[in-house]
Structure 1
Amino acid sequence: MRGTKRRMGYEDLENVAEDMVLARISELAEDESLDFCRCPVCLQDMAAIVLNRVPPLYCCSLLEKNSPGEDFSRRVDEVRARIEEELPRALELVRSHDNH
């Protein structure tokens, strides 16, 4: 898939929600006060669960990423709030049903 993006010239097309989810999971993984498995499988499972439950938020230019308009900024805030709702659920689901 990534090769298709490159071949078609869509390298700038990006799901910002994915970056936001991965950043938050990375932060959670560093929080030693939380009790959950931090192996790559469990972290990826958490990411997949959250990403399937939040709306995608695509942008297609560096300008939009670095200087978002009011509407895009509002949507970023909405997705961020949704991620915060879904992360604890995903963490608990993976904790109780890990794949290893």
Structure 2
Amino acid sequence: MKELRDTLQISAGLENLTENLVFQELNDFIEKIKNTPDSQFCICNICLADVAAIVLNDLKPQYCSNFIDKHKSKDYYIKHRLEVREKIVKAFDMVKKNPHHANI
């Protein structure tokens, strides 16, 4: 199964636009809060994985390939960027209240 997945992702460009957008926006959010001295959000890998999972589970996947609908990715990002940003903030609040690690 992994071999087929890798083949389709590499040779046919199969990708999940939702996942790409979530990680792009999550990265931007992390960069912003890193520069905020009073940020109360933990950005360890455990918390970031929890945030990503919460957001991704709350959004519909949107798959495309090199051959079909690839041109729609920019429109998809523009349309869903604000929704993803809002979900990231909510997910950070959820993780902050119930982290999967000891308070640091």
TM-score, normalised to structure 2, is 0.75
Structure 2: runs of 5 or more not aligned: none
Per-residue Cα deviation, 1:46-93 (whole angstroms, up to 9, x for no partner): 00000011121211117854xx14xx5443333323202211110100
- 1:45 touches 1:94 (CA, 8 Å); kept in 2? yes
Per-residue Cα deviation, 1:11-31 (whole angstroms, up to 9, x for no partner): 111101111111111122222
Distance 1:23 1:2 in 2: 24
Mapped pair 1:95 → 2:93: no
Structure 1 stretches of at least 4 aligned residues deviating more than 6 Å after TM superposition: none
Alignment of 1:9-88 (within 5 A): 9-11=7-9, 12-31=13-32, 32=34, 33=36, 34-61=39-66, 64-65=69-70, 68-69=71-72, 73-88=74-89
Structure 1 stretch 28-37 or stretch 47-56: which is displaced more? 28-37
Q: What percentage of residue pairs aligned between the two structures are identical?
A: 30
Aligned residues: CA RMSD: 2.2
